[in-house]
A and B are shown apart, each in its own frame.
Chain A
Amino acid sequence: MVRARRGLGGLALVGAAALAIQAIRPSLGPPAGAQVEMAIPPQVREILVRRCYACHSDQPRLVWWDEAAPVYWVVASDVQRARSVLNFSELGAEPLARQRAELFESVDQIQLGAMPLRLYLLGHPESGVTAEELATLKAYLAPFGRVSGQGTEGEPEAIGGQVLPWPMPQRQPTGPSPNGVPFLPGFAGWQVISTADRGDDHTLRIITGNDIAIRAIQARQLPSWPEGAAFASIAWQAVDDGHGHLAPGKFVQVEFMEKHRVEFAGTGGWGFARFVGDRLQPYGKGSHFDNECIGCHEPVKKNDFVFSLPLPEEPEPRGLEPGGQRAEAQGTGMPESGVLRPGGAVR
């Protein structure tokens, strides 16, 4: 009898505690930001509302089991974090290019399986984006929809039929990246690992890798990039000559990724930096701006957070040598690769 009473007492205590913790409820009310929706077609908005707004909006949608603490605490923290990264209720207040970029990133996150979060899907199995919905989003964004448009790719800078490239007038940025990641001045001398025709932001890109990265490619060491590996993604506005022929116009930015497992442990072992425009203005506010970088790179975690698929190095690059001074005498074309931090000098 005493035992049973004790059992009941314990149960009551647990019940009381369970009730008591319900009082601790972090607010999910609308944040202070301006409530501006994007001007998008209703079928696109419906998908976003159905699949994304539950967390990425000022109208969080919780099911009953989300409402009970302690589950509620996890959900509330997820929603707060989701909103800080992307809030569709407020995205309409941003410039159009930013809105477009966010939608592209959203599609990317969905198609690479990073969104909705796996844990969220477990609790809300019906929330996954269907293939049809994804196709609708892609068709709306239509990155390459305006083929051969008259100067639709960036601002036309073509003069007399010849596109004038836009060299950078200065070789050093106006300051370091806010997170301390250095500008790597040798990037133009690095080997090309890939190129990209970006319909989402109308840029052409060349991605180069330092010799540590190139050696890792040659040794087929991926997906794990070695310590010190670095990449530069150099972007120019794509200028269309009106016949679907795109050439680089104005320089947009150069972005770096540099691998240092310990130093950049908080961002997947990579230091991220971006230097924008002719003045090479460091991008980002505050030392933690790079949370945005790693957030975007998260879906390619299995590729060590690197988006680019490098061109495979041929096992025997020097082929025929019919002309004597050909392959051998031409050198490897990597004269500057050695400038990357000889003994840490650059950093």
Chain B
Amino acid sequence: MKTLMATAGAMLLIVLCGCQQKMKEGELYDLPAGLGRGLPYPVLQWEAITTEVDRSEGTMATLFGDEAAVKAARSGAAYPAGAVLGLVTWREREDPHWFGARIPGRPVSVEFVVVGRGVDERFVGAPWREAPGSGAAQMEAMRATVIP
């Protein structure tokens, strides 16, 4: 009887485990798009100012800003000196959940501009390495689209 119950218990456990199919991390998070470590600012923790797509390059980019930058952008004011902008560019990939959508794939670059301080740093590659930045003017010209 004990054996029978143990067997039944074991079978029930197997069935239950079978139902609870564990999902892979890649099915739960956009793993390829992670920025990892090595950047000077926690850019993904900042609020978004706007987002753009370059179909010819197959990339999508989102402009983030620190508190001062976001506040200025959303009120239509000029960025104050010292405000920091971060432009994250990803290669696009097909959204596995939505036919017709593209979502962030592998990161291409992250560029930081400190307004009025002449600081423009671009990070490329994996692991990140610094390269000369040239997008300051373009980044500062991007207008806010996320308005609370």
Q: List 19 A-B contacts (CB under 8 A).
A: A108-B98, A141-B100, A188-B74, A191-B44, A194-B103, A196-B103, A197-B53, A246-B53, A247-B50, A251-B145, A311-B33, A314-B37, A317-B42, A321-B40, A331-B66, A333-B47, A333-B64, A333-B70, A334-B45
In the complex, whether A302 has a CB less than 8 A from a CB of chain B is: yes
Q: In the complex, A247 Cα to B51 Cα: how many Å?
A: 7
Are the C-beta atoms of B42 and A222 separated by less than 8 Å?
no
Nearest CB on A from B125, distance (A): 15
Q: In the complex, A303 Cα to B23 Cα: how many Å?
A: 9
CB under 8 Å from chain B, chain A span 99-148: 104, 107-108, 111-112, 138, 141, 143-144, 147-148
Q: In the complex, A86 Cα to B90 Cα: how many Å?
A: 36
CB < 8 Å: which of A164, A185, A299 contacts B143?
A: A164
Query: Across the interface, which residues of A come within 8 angstroms of B148, CB to CB?
Result: 171, 185-189, 336
Are the C-beta atoms of B37 and A195 separated by less than 8 Å?
no
Q: In the complex, A309 Cα to B30 Cα: how many Å?
A: 5
CB under 8 Å from chain B, chain A span 288-344: 299-300, 302-303, 307-323, 326-327, 330-336
Residues A143 and B99 in contact in the complex (CB < 8 Å), given A206-B48, A311-B104, A319-B37: yes
In the complex, whether B84 has a CB less than 8 A from a CB of chain A is: yes
Q: Which of A112, A143, A165, A330 has the most CB of B within 10 A?
A: A330
CB < 8 Å: which of A104, A205, A327, A333 contacts B40?
A: A327
Residues A200 and B99 in contact in the complex (CB < 8 Å), given A148-B56, A311-B34: yes
Query: Across the interface, which residues of A come within 8 angstroms of B103, CB to CB?
Result: 194-197, 308-309
In the complex, whether A256 has a CB less than 8 A from a CB of chain B is: no
Are the C-beta atoms of A333 and B66 separated by less than 8 Å?
yes
Query: Across the interface, which residues of B come within 8 angstroms of A272, CB to CB?
Result: none
Are the C-beta atoms of B51 and A206 separated by less than 8 Å?
yes
Are the C-beta atoms of A330 and B98 separated by less than 8 Å?
no
Q: In the complex, A309 Cα to B88 Cα: how many Å?
A: 17
Are the C-beta atoms of B97 and A311 separated by less than 8 Å?
no
Nearest CB on B from A240, distance (A): 8
Query: Across the interface, which residues of B come within 8 angstroms of A326, CB to CB?
Result: 40-41
Q: In the complex, A343 Cα to B102 Cα: how many Å?
A: 37
Q: How many B residues, CB 8 Å from partner? A: 56
Query: Across the interface, which residues of B come within 8 angstroms of A111, CB to CB?
Result: 99
In the complex, whether A238 has a CB less than 8 A from a CB of chain B is: yes
Q: Which of B53, B62, B147 has the most CB of A within 10 A?
A: B53
Q: How many A residues, CB 8 Å from partner? A: 84
Query: Across the interface, which residues of B come within 8 angstroms of A206, CB to CB?
Result: 48, 51, 62, 146
Closest 9 CB pairs of A and B: A200-B100, A244-B55, A143-B100, A333-B46, A188-B148, A317-B42, A165-B145, A167-B147, A246-B53
Q: Which of B35, B38, B146 has the most CB of A within 10 A?
A: B146
Query: Across the interface, which residues of A come within 8 angstroms of B99, CB to CB?
Result: 104, 107-108, 111, 138, 141, 143, 200
In the complex, whether A47 has a CB less than 8 A from a CB of chain B is: no
Given contacts A143-B101, A199-B100, A245-B54, 8 further A-B contacts (CB under 8 A): A141-B100, A147-B55, A165-B50, A190-B47, A245-B56, A308-B97, A309-B95, A312-B34
Are the C-beta atoms of A331 and B67 separated by less than 8 Å?
yes
Query: Across the interface, which residues of B come within 8 angstroms of A187, CB to CB?
Result: 148
Nearest CB on A from B85, distance (A): 12
In the complex, whether B132 has a CB less than 8 A from a CB of chain A is: no
In the complex, whether B120 has a CB less than 8 A from a CB of chain A is: no
Q: In the complex, A308 Cα to B28 Cα: how many Å?
A: 9
In the complex, whether A231 has a CB less than 8 A from a CB of chain B is: no
Residues A198 and B55 in contact in the complex (CB < 8 Å), given A302-B23, A333-B70: no
In the complex, whether A192 has a CB less than 8 A from a CB of chain B is: yes
In the complex, whether B124 has a CB less than 8 A from a CB of chain A is: no
Are the C-beta atoms of B84 and A330 separated by less than 8 Å?
yes
Nearest CB on B from A161, distance (A): 11
In the complex, whether A275 has a CB less than 8 A from a CB of chain B is: no
* Contact mask for chain A residues 205-237; partner B; CB cutoff 8 A; 1 contact, 0 none: 110100000000100101100000000001010
Q: In the complex, A12 Cα to B64 Cα: how many Å?
A: 77
